[in-house]
């Protein structure tokens, strides 16, 4: 009985199920994977996670290769077997698992998935790949989407927006992301926390772009970090850590964090000025619980509201704000290395819809700013339509608004605002613009 239970949940079979769910039902990797890891034996979880991230990161490439190995595509009801084949290819191409073990364990996973009929097919396809790998890899060069492991529409969009940097963007998106920390200045200076890390043999270095950011040489479990439970440190990319600096925080401010969950920036703002009044809003009530967890770990206080920030009649108490942060919902095209499922879940026509939502947030929240107040608009997108073009349109329609130039530019200057492309200074891709009432 116990043996059967374990078999039903091997790392490879679970990864295949997760990948099939993401690709077929267009569900986000984080949610599906978290549930899939729970029933897995502890020693299988890391492999399952590596397979899910790796296969989705290289999905266009692996799918293209698999199509050359199969006589015809498998039926939609067997998308778990298609995904399992991709897991097999990923192990052979990119993992340090001996190939005989990779093949036999992947073949065994067919039975775990309740599809023993597929064992011959998976075995033959993977062995065929081994024999013809060099020849098959060569064919990638003639197929841009498979070569760069991105959907065609996104490659074209990056080429159009960044004619000189699109290859850097695509290559960075295909890498495993580094882990970065934000040191809580209320508890330790960055250099003091570096010493604490050294004492537990964790190697890290200081990031120049932010006073609080550390880059870990190797990712680790957060609970290995000294003082994590006590709020000494949080996990946050260096690009996201620049936002609080742009808000020009001082004591006694009333601040709106309009799209706040899971609360990374809310907490950073409060770490810098714990006495500020921060109203943290998010449309997603479940994600609001993550802000609650983060503020309570860091012993900070924010006023949390579940609401559509753009529908101000439903939540606003009529008091203006000194600062407004719109960390807008966006395509996530600056953080693909952290969320490789974006390659599959986003579609070309999402971008105009997102730009429209961002515009509604800007238009409806701007009137809530005090005269001389500051609104900071940010996204983790690398596409101009959501970033500098969005702000250009807004400024054109609001002569009373002007761009405020920060003392220290957070990234490369654009026509309006500042853009960090994925991989600039090892950080995620990010966009920043600061707007002030004239
Ligand atoms: C980029 S994430 C914010 C990340 C967050 N600021 C942080 O630093 O942890 C965007 C958030 O906007 C929320 N959102 C989307 N549309 C919204 C709306 N109309 N009103 C309020 N929140 C919204 C999403 O639920 C999501 O949590």
**Using 50, 70 and 90 to split pLDDT, how confident is the model at 2?**
very low
pLDDT of residue 259: 98
Residues 6+ apart with CB under 8 A from 142: none
CA atoms within 13 A on the CB side of 407: 3
- Ligand 1 within 6 A of 282 CB? yes
Q: Measure the N-to-C terminal CA separation of the chain; round to a whole number of Å.
A: 72
Output the residue whose Cα is nearest ligand 1's atom 1. 329
pLDDT the model gives residue 145: 98
Mean pLDDT over the full length of the chain: 96
pLDDT bracket for residue 113 (50, 70, 90):
very high
Mean pLDDT across 246-257: 97
Contact 194, 214 (CB under 8 A): yes
Per-residue pLDDT at 5 exceeds 80: no
Integer Cα distance of 373 and 255 in angstroms = 10
Dist. CA 83 → ligand 1 center (Å): 31
Q: Which ligand 1 atom is nearest residue 240's CA?
A: 8
Buried b (16+ CB within 10 A) or exposed e, 225-237: bbebeebbbbebb
C-alpha 178 – ligand 1 centre gap (Å): 23
Query: Strands 418-420, 412-413: parallel, antiparallel or unpaired by DSSP?
Result: antiparallel
pLDDT at residue 3 above 70? no
Block residue for tokens 């970065």: 180
Compute φ and ψ for 235, nearest 5 degrees: -90, 125
Non-local (6+) Cβ contacts of 433 within 8 A are 376, 377, 378, 387, 388, 391, 403, 416, 417, 418
Q: How confident is residue 8, by pLDDT bands cut at 50, 70 and 90? A: confident
Select from 261, 280, 306, 342 the residue to mutate for testing ligand 1; criterion: most ligand atoms less than 8 Å from CB.
261
The Cα 48–Cα 36 span in angstroms is 9
pLDDT of residue 438: 84
Report CA(288)–ligand 1 centroid distance (Å): 10
Atom of ligand 1 nearest to the CA of 379: 1
Give 411-434 as a DSSP string. Answer: SEE-SSSEEE-TTGGG---EEEEE
What gap in Å lies between CA 5 and CA 388, rounded to an integer?
Answer: 53
Is the pLDDT at 341 greater than 50? The verdict is yes
DSSP 236: -
Centroid of ligand 1 to alpha carbon of 411 (angstroms)? 22
- What does pTM read for this prediction? 0.95
Pocket test for ligand 1, best of 302, 305, 316, 329 (most atoms within 8 A of CB): 329
Residue located nearest, by CA, to atom 2 of ligand 1: 329
Encode pLDDT of 58-69 as tens digits. 999 999 999 999
Cβ atoms of 408 and 318 closer than 8 Å: no
Alpha-carbon gap, residue 313 to 355, rounded angstroms:
22
For 288, residues 6+ apart whose C-beta sits below 8 A from its C-beta are 260, 261, 280, 282, 304, 305, 306
- Per-residue model confidence as pLDDT tens digits over 375-413: 999 999 999 999 999 999 999 999 999 999 999 999 999
Active site annotation includes 380:
yes
Mean pLDDT of 75-89: 97
Percent of the chain with pLDDT over 70: 98
d(CA 331, CA 325): 18
Rounded to whole angstroms, the Cα distance separating 317 from 284 reads 20
6 has pLDDT over 90: no
Does ligand 1 come within 6 angstroms of the Cβ of 428?
A: no
- Are the beta carbons of 185 and 271 closer than 8 angstroms? yes
Q: If you take atom 12 of ligand 1, which residue's CA is the nearest one? A: 259
pLDDT tier at 421, thresholds 50, 70, 90: very high
Model pLDDT for residues 134-191, shown as the tens digit of each residue: 999 999 999 999 999 999 999 999 999 999 999 999 999 999 999 999 999 999 999 9
């Amino acid at each position: 009985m116990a043996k059967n239970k374990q078999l039903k949940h091997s790392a490879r079979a679970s990864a295949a199920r997760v990948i099939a769910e993401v690709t077929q039902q267009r569900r986000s990797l984080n949610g599906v994977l978290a549930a899939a890891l729970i029933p897995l034996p502890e020693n299988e979880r890391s492999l399952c996670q590596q397979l899910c991230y790796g296969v989705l990161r290289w999905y266009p490439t692996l799918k293209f290769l698999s199509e050359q190995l199969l006589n015809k595509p498998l039926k939609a009801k067997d998308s778990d077997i298609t995904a399992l084949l991709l897991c097999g290819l990923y192990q052979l191409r990119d993992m340090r698992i001996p190939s005989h073990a990779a093949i036999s364990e992947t073949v065994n996973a067919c039975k775990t998935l309740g599809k023993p009929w597929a064992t011959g097919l998976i075995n033959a396809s993977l062995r065929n790949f081994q024999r013809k790998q060099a020849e098959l890899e060569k064919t990638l060069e003639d197929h841009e989407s498979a070569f760069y492991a991105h959907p065609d529409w996104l490659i074209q969009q990056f080429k159009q927006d960044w004619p000189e940097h699109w290859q850097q963007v695509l290559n960075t998106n295909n890498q495993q992301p580094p882990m970065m920390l934000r040191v809580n200045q209320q508890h330790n200076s960055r250099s003091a926390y570096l010493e604490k890390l050294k004492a537990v043999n964790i190697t890290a270095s200081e990031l120049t772009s932010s006073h609080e950011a550390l880059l870990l040489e190797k990712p680790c479990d957060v609970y290995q970090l000294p003082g994590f439970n006590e709020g000494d440190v949080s996990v946050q990319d260096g690009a996201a850590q620049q936002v609080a600096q742009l808000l020009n925080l001082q004591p006694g401010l009333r601040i709106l964090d309009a799209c706040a969950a899971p609360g990374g920036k809310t907490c950073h703002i409060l770490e810098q000025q714990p006495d500020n009044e921060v109203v943290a809003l998010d449309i997603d009530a479940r994600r609001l619980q993550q802000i609650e967890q983060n503020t309570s770990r860091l012993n900070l206080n924010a006023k949390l509201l579940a609401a559509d920030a753009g529908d101000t009649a439903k939540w606003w108490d009529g008091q203006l704000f000194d600062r407004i942060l719109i960390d807008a919902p966006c395509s996530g095209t600056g953080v693909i290395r952290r969320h490789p499922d974006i390659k599959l879940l986003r579609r070309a026509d999402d971008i105009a819809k997102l730009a429209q939502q961002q515009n509604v947030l800007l238009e409806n929240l701007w009137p809530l700013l005090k005269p001389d107040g500051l609104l900071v608009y940010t996204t983790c997108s690398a596409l101009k339509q959501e970033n500098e073009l969005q702000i250009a349109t807004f400024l054109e329609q609001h002569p009373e608004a002007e761009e405020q130039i920060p003392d220290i530019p957070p990234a490369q200057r654009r026509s309006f605002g500042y853009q960090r492309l994925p991989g600039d200074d090892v950080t995620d891709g990010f966009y920043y613009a600061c707007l002030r009432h004239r």
